[in-house]
Structure formats: C-alpha cells, structure tokens
Amino acid sequence: MDFSFEAQKTQQRLLSELDFSPLTSKQKSIFTARLETNFKPLFEQLFPLYQHHFDLHFHLKTLLQSFIDFQKKKRPAQIKDKSDFWFESNKNVGMAVYVDLLADDLGSLIDKIPYFESLGINYLHLMPLYLAPEGNSDGGYAISDYRTVSPNLGTNKDLKDLASALHKKGIRMVLDFVFNHTSDEHRWAAAAKSGDQEYQDYYHFMGEQDAMEYNQTVREIFPQIRRGSFTYLPALDRHVWTTFNSFQWDLNYANPAVFVAVVEEMLHLILNGCDVLRLDALAFVWKEKGTVCENLPKAHNLIKAFKACLDIAAPQVVFKSEAIVHPDEVNKYIGTDECTLSYNPLMMALLWESLATRQTSLLYHSLERSFKIPEHTTWVNYIRCHDDIGWLWDDAISGRLGMDGFGHRRFLNQFYTGQFEGSFAAGVPFQENPVNGDCRVCGTLASLAGVENAVAADDPVLLDHAIKRIRLLNGINFAMPGIPLLYQGDDLGVLNNNDYLNDPSKAEDSRWVHRKKLTEQDFALAQDIKTPQGNIAQLVQEMIQIRKANPLFAAPEFELVSLGSPHVFAFKRQMGDKTLLVIANMSEHLVSFERPLNSIMQKDSAHNLLNKAVVDLVTLNTIEPLDILWLA
C-alpha cells in the first residue's frame, strides 16, 4: 500500500465533508495549513490501531470537525512568550501544587502569584482539580467530569481567570491529562453500569477467565488495595479493568470512539488556559493479552496520535510524560512527535540512592546510558513530587556494579523508612507488597533528608548535615539540563504531617504524609532565618536567582565528569567558550579529587556562583562534606 497516497486521499475526502463555516477565511487558511502538515502523521498512527474498524472514516471526520469548532472558542489571555523552545531557557523554574493545600481555592491561589514571582516560579503545575468522587479519589486522579472544576475549588471561570492572571505574569499553567482511566462515577461509566453496550465498549469488561489470563502477566500497582488488575461488578457479573484503584476504570483505546471522545476532553482542558498537559500513567494505555500491558508499541502509536491532534488543533501546547517505568522505556516516550517534556524519575531516585550509600557509581552509570534525549526536548527534573519514590533503575547496570537489585531496593526502603540503623531519614512505606516485601517510600524533602530526626534529637550536627543534603540535592537539580520542579512545601522546609491518619478516606494512602495543608505558620517559619525552615527557604531562593541570572544554566552541551572519588558526582555544561562545572560530595567527609580542575575547565581560576568567591583551580583538590560547587 502506498501510505502517503492513501493518507492524502483520505485527507482530501475529509476536507470536502467538513463544515468550515464557523471559521473566518484567515482562520481556515491557518487551520488547513496545519492540517496539511500534520494529517499524515495522525493517519500513520491511527491506522495501525483502527484499520479494521469499518467506521474509521466517520471517527476521523468527527475528530477533524471538533478541531475546526475548537478554533472559534474563546480561551484565556495567552502568555506573551511565544518562542517555540521556551522550555530550553535557564529562566524556567517550576512548582507542583494542590490548589486547596497551598491556598483555599482557585480564587485565593491568584493571591499566591506574588509569592511565585518572588521565588522565581514561571511554570506552575496544578494537581488534578476536576470533579472527582467524595472521599478517596486517588488525590484527584479519579476524574468524574473533565469539564467541571471540583466545586470546593471553584468554577471553570475561576480556572480561566487564574490562567489569565498567571499568563500576565509570565507563568505557564500545567494541568493533568488523566487519559488512562476515569472515575467509576463518570457519565460514561454510569451508562456502562446501566447496561449501555456503547459505553461498556469504552472500558474493558470481561468474564472471569479472561481476567485471570490477563492477571497472569500484568503487575500489581496497588497490592495493598486490591490483588490483580480487575474489579468484579456483581450487578453485571463482569470484571472491569482497574489498574490502580477499583474506582478508576481503564479506558479501552482499542475502540476509536474512545480516542475521539478523549481528544475532545483534552481540547476542553486547553480551553481553560493550560500551556502544558501532563500525560498521567501513559505507559498503561494499551492492553494486549499475554503481555505486561505496559509500554506496548501501540501505546506509542496512541500518544503520537494525541500529539498530532495537538499539533493540528492547539500547537502552542506541549505534552509532558509521566512514565515511572524502566529507564529505557521512559526515554521512548520523549520526542518532538510524542512528549516534548518528560519527568526524570531515574535521576530523582538515584540522587536519594547516592545519599543513602554515599556512593555515586549507580548514578553515573545510569545517567551515562539514559540522560541523553532528542534535540528540542527537555527533562523535568525533581527531587520530590506528590507521589512516592520508586527505585526504577536498570538491574543490568546495578548487576555489573556488583549490586543485587532486589536486595539493594530492600535496603533503600528500610533506610528511608528509618528501619536501618544509622539512617537519617523519616520516610513512610507505601503499598508494601505482602508477597515480595517490595514497597515505595513517601515523605517530604526535609523529612527524608534528615531534618525531622535532627530536630527530634535536638542535635545541631545532624541538623547541619540535613540542611546540607537539601542544599546538595537542590544544587544538582537546579544545575542539570532541563526544567527544575519544586514540590509544594519543599521550598519552605515542611516536615511530614500525620494528620491524614485521622481521615478514613486518606488513612490507607501514606502519600498524604507529604500532602500537607500549608498554613501561615509554615510561611512564617520560612521567613525566620533562625529556623531550619528559614535556612532551607533562603538557600532555595538564592539558587533560583543565580540560575535565572546566568545563561550557562541553559548551556546545550552536557558531560558527566569523573573526579576519581566514589563519593563525588560531577558534570559540566558548555556554552561556547564558557563552562559550568558542578561538583557534589555525597558523603559527610572531606573528599579529595584525583583530577586537577584546571585541566577540566581549561582555566586556572573560576567563580563559585554559590558564594561569589574566586577559586584557584590549580590548588583546589578537595570538597567539604555534603558540599556542592557551581564553578563558572
């Protein structure tokens, strides 16, 4: 088959059937130009998924008509910065927040914009804020209606007003695109429960035998909540696919009607003013019996099809990948034809691994293999997020370094949940598997880094070490290529909060230990330099200011640097004849370098950007305990 010819023929047929009357001649011209460029990529991705569906032409027509209608709909004031590669700037610094945990609602979040400005935030990720079930909604990731803001947070108008207010201050708004599943209260799910065959085909309904066969090969994500990946519905005598919680029903993308319907929901999110859509749980979106049902080739077809839709309808918006999977699989979602931005879970996990072991070999070897990504794509680097920490490195790499992957993960879980003697951390286990003992780790940055235990012990040495770890982690995060992302409260040095244990809807989900409602007291403590929180807030703000003032933090060339010590992590970034060398000591001891720094930087002196001191590179051959250097 001549694919280009078939795509062109299909496109011409569709153009003759579409209603362009809502558009002005200029709008039509712009739209058809984008369609001309991007229809073939869309067709190329959808054809492998839906070639056997007799009604594919109908679904394509419905899809393109929705794009046309979308062009006439009013959106909030857009951001002034229209540069195609805005995400490559050193001025980008992000923060992820729950609206009702940082403020009270969308209206009062506008009042926090001066704080974002003072900190230097220009990329704001709002955690899910749409209608969700009462009680446990997986932190808002069980969406009952993509088109309705949760009433406790405000209205769609409030969200649009927030987007306009953020854009006027140069801050981009990021929303979640939860497209793997809906809540079981969504109107599609409600219709399926009532016996509507059309909407039952929106989900994966099956008998017990089929469910058992799928369960042989898929992994359990929340084993403490439910064994297997299915939930039995007695009223229908059927099993429905629920990868996560039983109230989160996985969508059936083998049905083209689902793809079209979800694209229309995506366009509604964009109408509310977002600049970036975070693709939640994207690794799980395609299912095939006999596989693990994660990272399947057709999942990439599907995501590339969504991206082609974005390029036709709203090219100013970009996707961010949330693939918390094997590093080799994470990188496959990153590309100009798929996800422009991607979380970097590998670096996050291995920074914590290096702090626990005081060794950097696994971090070095893993980043050597996995850090490089295509041109005009960018990592979103983070130390903590709303979720847990999972230890997702490549066991082949740890094996070559003499580490048993299972045993090393068990050590890290025990270390960061305070079960290992000498641990500085006060983390909490999440979703421990009763069969193999595996789990993940929750906690705020400050509690995991040792502040909580140091304060409890009233030990100034331990507290000094804890704050230095926080400075160290932030120093790496702000200096690595990509967009650094802070999680709410970590900018204030907030500690773990156990109030969630008193709420029956949250008590079984230990991630709420780091989802604290921020108070005026938290902000007041961060203003007092005599407190640990004040120290942390100050160092974060100073690092952000240095990063945003220095274009070297947008340098395109990146290279890991070995200084001959197992305790040191170092890298350099190059922009023309200018060099940034970052050196971090992961141990509580003075460490020596085996390589002269002047040979690396091709200079005999440099400025340490963090303290403005001039450094003699010829004689500098040690680094203080838990210290970090930004040498330029």
d(CA 407, CA 548): 41
Catalytic-role residue among 250, 322, 394, 509: 322
**Predicted pLDDT at 221:** 81
Q: Give the residue-averaged pLDDT of 494-519.
A: 95
Number of neighbouring beta carbons within 10 Å of residue 233:
16
**Predicted pLDDT at 431:** 82
Instruction: Decide: residue 562, CB within 10 A, 0-12 exposed, 13-18 middle, 19+ buried.
Output: middle
Secondary structure (3-state) at 592: strand
**Predicted pLDDT at 437:** 67
Contact between 114 and 161 (Cβ < 8 Å): no
**Predicted pLDDT at 23:** 95
292 has a pLDDT exceeding 80: yes
Number of neighbouring beta carbons within 10 Å of residue 24:
11
Give me the chain's average pLDDT, please.
Answer: 96
Question: Among residues 388, 381, 380, 350, which one has the least CA distance to residue 515?
Answer: 388
Ranges 1-5, 8-12, 293-297, 575-579: which has the least confidence: 1-5
**Predicted pLDDT at 362:** 98
Separation in Å, CA 194 to CA 188, 228, 256, 261 = 10, 25, 22, 20
- pLDDT digits over 446-502, tens only? 999 999 999 999 999 999 999 999 999 999 999 999 999 999 999 999 999 999 999
Contact between 430 and 472 (Cβ < 8 Å): no
DSSP H helices, 358-513, are: 361-370, 395-400, 405-416, 445-449, 451-457, 460-479
Give 300-345 as a DSSP string: HHHHHHHHHHHHHH-TT-EEEE---S-HHHHHHTBSTTSBSEEE-H
Sequence-separated (6 or more) residues with CB below 8 Å from residue 157: none
Q: Where do we find the tokens 């847990």?
A: 388
Secondary structure (3-state) at 537: helix
Contact between 130 and 149 (Cβ < 8 Å): yes
Q: Give the residue-averaged pLDDT of 421-448.
A: 89
pTM of the model: 0.96
Q: With b meaning 16 or more CB within 10 Å and e meaning fewer, what string describes 295-327?
A: bbebbbbbbbbbbbbbbbbbeebbbbbbbbbbb
Number of neighbouring beta carbons within 10 Å of residue 53:
15
Long-range contacts of 603-608 (CB under 8 A, 24+ apart): 603/579, 606/581, 606/631, 606/632, 607/631, 607/632
- Return the percentage of the chain with pLDDT > 70, whole number: 99
d(CA 430, CA 507): 11
Separation in Å, CA 251 to CA 94, 213, 419, 575 = 30, 19, 39, 46
Contact between 272 and 164 (Cβ < 8 Å): no
- Return the percentage of the chain with pLDDT > 90, whole number: 95
**Predicted pLDDT at 467:** 98
Contact between 141 and 128 (Cβ < 8 Å): yes
**Predicted pLDDT at 624:** 98
DSSP state of 389: B
DSSP state of 219: P
**Predicted pLDDT at 106:** 98
H or E stretch at 94: strand 94-97
d(CA 34, CA 339): 19
- The two counts, helices (H) then strands (E), for the chain are 23, 25
Q: Where do we find the tokens 């293999």?
A: 369
Q: pLDDT-based confidence at 147, cuts 50/70/90? A: very high
Beta strands in 52-121 (DSSP E): 94-97
Catalytic-role residue among 185, 280, 387, 394: 280
- What angle do helix axes 460-479 and 532-549 make, rounded to 10 degrees? 20
Q: Give the residue-averaged pLDDT of 78-82.
A: 93
**Predicted pLDDT at 224:** 62
210 labelled catalytic: no
Secondary structure (3-state) at 213: helix
Q: pLDDT-based confidence at 433, cuts 50/70/90? A: confident
d(CA 191, CA 211): 22
352 has a pLDDT exceeding 80: yes
310 has a pLDDT exceeding 70: yes
d(CA 255, CA 52): 11
d(CA 236, CA 558): 56
Question: Among residues 66, 473, 87, 412, which one has the least CA distance to residue 271?
Answer: 66
Question: Among residues 274, 307, 313, 319, which one has the least CA distance to residue 75?
Answer: 274
d(CA 344, CA 331): 9
Residue 37, Cα to own-chain centre: how many angstroms? 29
Question: Among residues 171, 176, 117, 123, which one has the least CA distance to residue 149?
Answer: 176
Contact between 568 and 593 (Cβ < 8 Å): yes
Helix/strand/coil percentages in the chain, nearest 5: 40, 15, 40
Contact between 466 and 355 (Cβ < 8 Å): no
- pLDDT digits over 366-381, tens only? 999 999 999 999 999 9
Question: Among residues 303, 260, 307, which one has the least CA distance to residue 283?
Answer: 303
220 labelled catalytic: no
- pLDDT digits over 297-308, tens only? 999 999 999 999
- pLDDT digits over 522-575, tens only? 999 999 999 999 999 999 999 999 999 999 999 999 999 999 999 999 999 999
Three-state SS for 267-293 is HHHHHCCCCEEEECCHHHCCCCCCCCC
d(CA 430, CA 618): 48
DSSP state of 87: G
